[in-house]
Amino acid sequence: MTVGPDRLRDKVVLLTGATGGIGAEIVRRLAEEGAHVVLTDLEKSGCQDLLDTLTQPERHTALALDVSSEEQWEDVVAATESTFGALHALVNNAAIGSVATVDEETRSQWDRVIGVGQTGTWLGMKHAGPLIERSGGGSIVNMCSILGTVGGLGNSVAYAAAKGAVRTMTKNAALHWAKARVRVNSLHPGFIGTPPLLERWEGSERHREMLAGTPMGRLGRGEEIAAVVAFLAGDDSTFVTGSEIYADGGWTAA
């Protein structure tokens, strides 16, 4: 078992939502640990720009993927197998948010949030999971949230619904693949200080509520979430499946 810079050496990892704040940090961490990363997002160009910043860009590949499209999932998984011959980990990171409350949310926005965060995660498992199994086993990391477990600030109802479903789907899939050497775990970040979050909320009452509810008294950093993803994607977590991993500064413990 290798720990350190080469912990993920030559493992093939497919990541959705690669160009977001947390996604980009995950890409960098996986690449630093030796993985071949399949970067996906709605626009291939953004993935390619990020890929070009990596030390050995030729080890990775960039693909366009709308995670709510089953046809595009089929194409991306087929392209991954064609390029690398295997898949060892899937990181279902793509999601979109909405801060609307239960009585303010619109049907159209609800459908968009559920389509990406919930349906997209299921489609990823459905199409990438069998390839991971055929590759000798590996890991699926479903990016969840504290809002998949607790009520948070009493808003973001569609996002909470999607993440609550991801939390339960993860356990269901973990049992399905338990003897097939495919581990499935959910990662639940608290409030993470990515540039989009800070640009929108820093200094606001909502920002103060985020800090007040976090016992550590600060927002998380993207690289802190990426470190947990690297652990779950590799062989240091071979007896971890169906688990909820919280990286929330103590939010859910309070």
Catalytic residue among 73, 84, 122, 159: 159
The pLDDT score that the predictor gives to residue 232 is 98
- Region 90-116: mean pLDDT is 96
The answer, yes or no, to whether residue 61 has pLDDT greater than 90, is: yes
**246 catalytically annotated:** no
Among 150, 157, 236, which Cα is nearest to 190's?
150
What is the overall mean pLDDT for the chain? 95
DSSP the chain: ---STTTTTT-EEEESSTTSHHHHHHHHHHHHTT-EEEEEES-HHHHHHHHTTSSSGGG-EEEE--TT-HHHHHHHHHHHHHHHS---EEEE---------TTT--HHHHHHHHIIIIIHHHHHHHHHHHHHHHTT-EEEEEE--GGGTS-TTS--HHHHHHHHHHHHHHHHHHHHTGGGTEEEEEEEE--B--HHHHHHHTTSHHHHHHHHT-TTSS-B-HHHHHHHHHHHHSGGGTT--S-EEEESTTGGG-
| Residues 153-210: tens digit of each pLDDT | 999 999 999 999 999 999 999 999 999 999 999 999 999 988 777 778 888 988 899 8
The answer, yes or no, to whether residue 5 has pLDDT greater than 70, is: no
| Residues 34-43: tens digit of each pLDDT | 999 999 999 9
The answer, yes or no, to whether residue 2 has pLDDT greater than 50, is: no
Binned at pLDDT 50, 70 and 90, residue 121 comes out as: very high
| Residues 210-239: tens digit of each pLDDT | 899 999 999 999 999 999 999 999 999 999
The pLDDT score that the predictor gives to residue 1 is 40
The answer, yes or no, to whether residue 4 has pLDDT greater than 70, is: no
The pLDDT score that the predictor gives to residue 8 is 96
The pLDDT score that the predictor gives to residue 126 is 98
CATH code, residues 12-191+225-246: 3.40.50.720
